[in-house]
Amino acid sequence: MDDIKRMERRKQATLARRHIYTQTSAPETFITSLSEEARENFFASERKRIALSLRRRKIKGGVLTGLGLFVAIFISALALIPIFFTFLNSFMSSEEIVANYQVVFQSMSGHASQGATYMSRTPVLKLIPEEVTIQQYSTLLFMNPEYLFKYWNSILLTLPIVAGQMVVSCLASYSFARYRRKRREVLFFSYIILMLMPFQVTLVPNYMIADSLNILDTIWAIILPGVFSTFAIFLLTKYMRQIPSGYIEAATLDGASEWQIFTNVALPLCKNAIFALTILLFIDYWNMVEQPLVLLTDINKQPLSVFLSQINEPELGIAFAASSVYMIPPLLIFFWGEDYLVEGISRSGIK
């Protein structure tokens, strides 16, 4: 292109632009075509229409939010009823509970013929006790030393498992997250498969191994497999892989050793996940039933969860109080660490 031509063209364009701004009149539109009065009327009607549609939209939004709130409240009520039910019923007197719920268990425990006599009766679902007593709690805590022993057993089983599994899985998942190779991925995959296995699959060999290690009928038969369970490794590895590699590189350049990177970079970044996993594991092992039933045949060593799950007619009077007291540690932990839990579970699911 030659420069003169370009210059000429630019000059023309500039001139033309100036020309437009000074010479062209405003284009004829619908608004300008109206007379003064008609324009006013038109604006007024438009204003009214917009206000109406805005109001309509507001109402629609309000109704929708209300509906959503209703659904959410309904669902959360469904979620909360059992907890309230247990807590409130725990303040009933034993007689009241037996009177209310005996029917249920009569038909439950195989008395098919006797169940017929209760045909006409239905249980009374009462949320509010007729008279509030702490009778259940007093019988439970002061007259049943067995209960407290089992409570202690539960703690004795759960805490070592949770602590041990967290330590082991922090180490293992750091190694899985930091060094990704093909063969190691295969190992990781096998860990995932192990995590998915129901306990019953390895029931027999677990029993045999516990027997050969001479730990059958001791708490170690449950603690040791629990400590090495791979559930936490799966989640923590997923979490640790999200740590930007730049952080670790920076630490290496600053001369940090492998252990320092682990304790000062990786672990603090995974704090939320570690707390969340601690809560999840605690709840899971606090509730375990099958393992103690098979591997801990000594009744005095069994945790409370086994005892509670076998509650029947005779102990019905204290069942609710026992459940309530049993529910307290998980709930406390939940309220203490809810933010960590939410934050920790949240990030594990996103890539």
Q: Binding to other proteins (CB under 8 A): which residues in 130-149?
A: none
The CA angle 309-315-320, to the nearest 5 degrees, is 70
Which one among 91, 147, 151, 191 touches other proteins, defined by CB under 8 A?
A: 191
Among the candidate windows 36-44, 46-54, 137-145, 168-176, which touches other proteins by CB under 8 A? 168-176
Applying the rule CB under 8 A, the residues between 226 and 285 that interact with other proteins are 227-228, 230-231, 233, 238, 258, 262, 283
Residues from 307 through 336 that contact other proteins (CB under 8 A): 308-309, 311, 319-320, 323, 326-327, 330-331, 334
Interface positions, 65-94, toward other proteins (CB under 8 A): 65, 68-69, 71-72, 75-76, 78-80, 82-83, 85-86
* C-alpha–C-alpha distance, residues 314 and 109, integer Å: 12
Return d(Cα 248, Cα 124) in angstroms, integer.
Answer: 62
The interface region with other proteins, picked from 50-58, 141-149, 245-253, 287-295 by CB under 8 A, is: 287-295
User: What one-letter code names the amino acid at 248?
Assistant: I
* Interface with other proteins (CB under 8 A), residue from 206, 272, 278, 302: 206
Both tokens assigned to 158: 């759960």
Q: How many Å apart are CA 19 and CA 5, to the nearest integer?
A: 21
Nearer to other proteins, 91 or 320 (CB): 320
User: From the CB of 42, what's the least distance to other proteins, in Å?
Assistant: 27
Q: Which of 98, 104, 141, 148 binds other proteins (CB under 8 A)?
A: 104
Query: Of 25-64, which residues contact other proteins (CB under 8 A)?
Result: none
Alpha-carbon gap, residue 213 to 277, rounded angstroms: 29
Rounded to whole angstroms, the Cα distance separating 184 from 233 reads: 14
Distances (CA, A) of 294 to 46, 283, 307, 308: 78, 20, 14, 16
Distance CA 236, CA 151 (A): 30
Choose between 135 and 188: whose C-beta lies nearer to other proteins.
Answer: 188
Q: Which of 93, 115, 133, 263 binds other proteins (CB under 8 A)?
A: 115
**Which CA distances in Å does 306 have to 135, 176, 289, 326?**
23, 36, 5, 12
Q: Which is nearer to other proteins, 44 or 167 (CB)?
A: 167
DSSP-derived 3-state class of residue 31: helix
In sequence order, what are the residues at sequence separation of 6 or more whose Cβ sits closer than 8 angstroms to the Cβ of residue 294? 203, 207
Per CB under 8 A, the segment of 45-53, 128-136, 155-163, 177-185 that binds other proteins is 177-185
- Asked if residue 349 binds other proteins (CB under 8 A), the reply is yes
User: Is residue 11 involved in binding other proteins (CB under 8 A)?
Assistant: no
Torsion of CA 295, 297, 299, 300, to 10 degrees: -70
Q: Which stretch binds other proteins (CB under 8 A): 31-39, 51-59, 133-141, 194-202?
A: 194-202
